[in-house]
DNA sequence: TCATTGGCCGAACAAGTGTTTGTTTTTAGC
DNA sequence: GCTAAAAACAAACACTTGTTCGGCCAATGA
């Protein structure tokens, strides 16, 4: 399912012939019981989210799970590939959540609203992985930037579809609509504070504002 | 005019008595002919905007203006204070631009629109300074974070006023309105591409969407 | 003309960076 | 129980990071 060309460490290099056609799906490496890759990813997500990519050192990441810096390079060829893995998982989680939310809804506007709420919940109250997707700029990680952009674009395709389904007057600029909505949603990461704000309420409010406009007086 | 408690280098320390009342406005240090502080700030803004704070080293900054790393510390006590200076200048520039734009407009909605367009122009097509304000997160620069937040909050007060002036139905949540609008505007930094997109058009479009809502069919 | 000092150089410092390599321990399959 | 691979250790490497500090020189105001 992995679409990023994630550069793996040397020991996991492609088997043999450089031009072997019919490459197997390459079953995920056995995965033993004692494998701290999940914890490694969790910690990386936590720190990348809180401090960004350049603001987080590999020592910081491995320290909190009692691992040594060098051990990271058994799992990933470089720090940037660790970020790529976290990012991919983040996109995966948001996608799942959003797709799940819209599946049970009918009606273009209700589906869009459900998607926005799910997007926000994942972004504000859920996992660190999702937040990394919004927090870290692909340009900060040159080696894997194209992969990250591709992932994000593919995710936003969901919203392209949702907006396309809206019953709008002919000639309406649906791109602006989408960009405005997603921008407002994503930026909420800046001002959102748990307890004070509520993801569901924000999502509903923003969609309503976009749908009906701001309520004008004496109407 | 400086509101950030910008920690200056040692040679510019407060004169003498620790508890001297009636402190002079402290006229800006003489500023000789040969002073490359402006170029230093320009380069810092350029790089902080493109690569973020942690992604930019002090050597990178001074190198492009043929300065040595140590010389930076004649002007600033720390790298973080350089960022603070750039940030402050950025807020100053956006503020000037926005205030200038709304001064010549009457009518609450027209003023808001003018402000958004000016905000976007500064953010997308104008100076690096303004972009730093949106790009760099205060949390990335702990030592001066409070100052940065205060600056940004003070700037956003302009929009609080503009939104407060809108003729809306009683009970409308003006905070959501403002957050949605500013969020959408700020996030445009992510997808905007010079040539393809146009700041003025984006501003007009977003304000229109917020005012009237999306145009529904057969109305 | 001369003392003053703003502005910067030159050279280093200690700490931290991502990464490599050889080796050891642990686990799974036969 | 033996073996082969997985997973991680231990210890370094080469380099970059932000920062310090003494000295130097040109410009400035008297």
Distance from CA of B111 to the nearest CA of A (A): 16
Q: In chain C, which nucleotides are within 7 Å of a protein Cβ? A: 6-12, 16-22, 26-29
Asked if the structure places residue B8 within a domain, the reply is no
Please tell me the distance from the alpha carbon of residue B39 to that of residue A144, in angstroms, as a whole number.
33
Q: What pLDDT is stored for residue B126 in this prediction?
A: 79
- List, in sequence order, every residue forming a beta bridge with B197; answer none if it has no partner: B194
Strand partners, B194: B197
Q: How far is the CA of A25 from the C1' of D5 (A)?
A: 21
Q: What is the pLDDT of residue B82?
A: 98
B75: nearest Cα among B7, B144, B1: B7
Question: What's the pLDDT tens digit per position in B94-148?
Answer: 999 999 999 999 999 999 999 999 999 999 987 899 999 999 999 999 999 999 9
Kindly give the interhelix angle for B145-164 and B108-124, rounded to the nearest 10 degrees: 150
In this prediction, residue A17 carries a pLDDT of 33
Straight-line distance from CA A151 to C1' C12, in Å? 46
Instruction: Determine the residue of chain B that is closest to A211 in CA distance.
Output: B213
Residue A206 maps to a domain: yes
Please give the Cα distance from A181 to A179 (Å, whole number).
5
User: Which tokens hold the place of A85?
Assistant: 């893995």
SS3 A45: helix
Q: Is A105 left (phi over 0), alpha (psi -120 to 50) or beta?
A: beta
pLDDT of residue A219: 53
DSSP sequence for chain B: ---S-----GGG---S-TT-SS----PPP---SS--HHHHHHHHHHHHHHH-STT--HHHHHHTTT--GGGHHHH-SSHHHHHHHHHHHHHHHHHHHHHHHHHT--SHHHHHHHHHHHHHHHHHTS-HHHHHHHHS-GGGSGGGHHHHHHHHHHHHHHHHHHHHTS---TT--HHHHHHHHHHHHHHHHHH--BTTB-HHHHHHHHHHHHHH-SPPS--
Among residues of chain A, what percentage have pLDDT more than 70? 86
**Mean pLDDT of the A171-175 span:** 94
In-domain check, residue B9: no
Indicate whether A108 belongs to any domain: yes
* Surface-to-core class of residue A142, CB atoms within 10 Å of its CB (0-12 exposed, 13-18 middle, 19+ buried): exposed
Residue of chain A whose Cα is closest to the Cα of B153:
A191
CB A145 within 8 A of CB B149: no
Provide mean pLDDT across the span A7-19.
53
Our count of domains for chain A comes to 1
Determine the distance in angstroms separating the CA of A166 from the nearest CA of chain B, rounded to an integer: 9
What's residue A218's pLDDT? 59
Question: For B159-198, what is each residue's pLDDT tens digit?
Answer: 999 999 999 999 899 999 999 999 999 999 999 999 999 9
CA distance A80 to A144: 7
Distance of CA B87 to the CA centre of its chain: 6
Nearest CA in chain A to B187: A183
Q: Is the residue at A94 inside a domain?
A: yes
Q: Considering the domain boundaries, does residue B217 fall inside one?
A: no
CA distance B180 to A48: 26
In the prediction, which pLDDT does B12 show?
A: 65
Q: Are B72 and B58 in contact (CB under 8 A)?
A: yes
Q: What Å value separates CA B74 and C1' D17?
A: 19
Residue with tokens 């019953």: A167
Compute the mean pLDDT over every residue in chain B, rounded to the nearest whole number: 88
From the CA of B73 to the C1' of D16: give the distance in Å.
18
Do the domain assignments include residue A205? yes
> What's the pLDDT tens digit per position in A119-170?
999 999 878 999 999 999 999 999 999 999 999 999 999 999 999 999 999 9
Which B residues 45-84 have CB within 7 Å of strand D? 56-60, 69-70, 72-73, 77-80
A98: in domain = yes
Spatial distance between the Cα atoms of B199 and B101, rounded to a whole number of angstroms: 14
Q: Which residues of B touch A (CB under 8 A)?
A: 51-52, 54-55, 137, 140, 166-170, 172-173, 176-177, 179-188, 190-191, 202, 205-206, 209-217, 219
Residue A138 sits in a domain whose CATH number is: 1.10.357.10
pLDDT at B203 over 70: yes
pLDDT band at B34 (very low <50, low <70, confident <90, very high): confident
Distance from CA of A207 to the nearest CA of B (A): 10
Which chain B residues are closer than 8 Å to A212 by Cβ? Answer: 213
In chain A, the residue whose alpha carbon lies closest to the alpha carbon of B198 is: A176
Q: Over the stretch A68-108, which tens digit does the pLDDT of each residue have? A: 999 999 999 999 999 999 999 999 999 999 999 999 999 99
Q: Which domain holds residue B160?
A: 36-212
The answer to whether the Cβ–Cβ distance between B181 and A183 falls below 8 Å is no
Q: How far is CA A210 from CA A29, A206, B102, B110, B148, in A?
A: 47, 6, 24, 19, 31
């Amino acid at each position: 399912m992995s679409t990023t060309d994630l550069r793996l460490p040397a020991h996991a290099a492609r088997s043999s012939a450089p031009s072997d056609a019919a490459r197997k799906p390459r079953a995920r490496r056995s995965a033993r019981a004692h494998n701290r890759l999940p914890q490694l990813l969790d910690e990386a997500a936590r720190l990348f989210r809180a401090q960004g990519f350049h603001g987080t050192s590999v020592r910081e990441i491995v320290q909190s799970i009692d691992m040594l810096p060098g051990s990271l390079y058994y799992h990933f060829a470089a720090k940037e590939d660790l970020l790529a893995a976290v990012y991919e998982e983040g996109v995966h989680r948001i996608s799942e959540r959003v797709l799940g939310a819209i599946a049970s809804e009918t009606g273009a506007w209700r589906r869009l609203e459900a998607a926005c709420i799910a997007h926000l919940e994942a972004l504000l109250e859920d996992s660190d992985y999702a937040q990394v997707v919004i927090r870290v700029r692909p340009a900060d990680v040159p080696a894997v930037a194209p992969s990250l952009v591709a992932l994000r674009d593919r995710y936003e395709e969901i919203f392209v579809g949702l907006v396309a389904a809206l019953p709008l007057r002919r000639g309406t600029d649906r791109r602006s609509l989408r960009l405005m909505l997603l921008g407002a949603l994503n930026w909420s990461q800046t001002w959102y504070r748990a307890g004070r704000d509520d993801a569901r309420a924000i999502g509903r409010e923003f969609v309503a504002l976009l749908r009906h406009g701001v309520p004008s007086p004496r109407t």
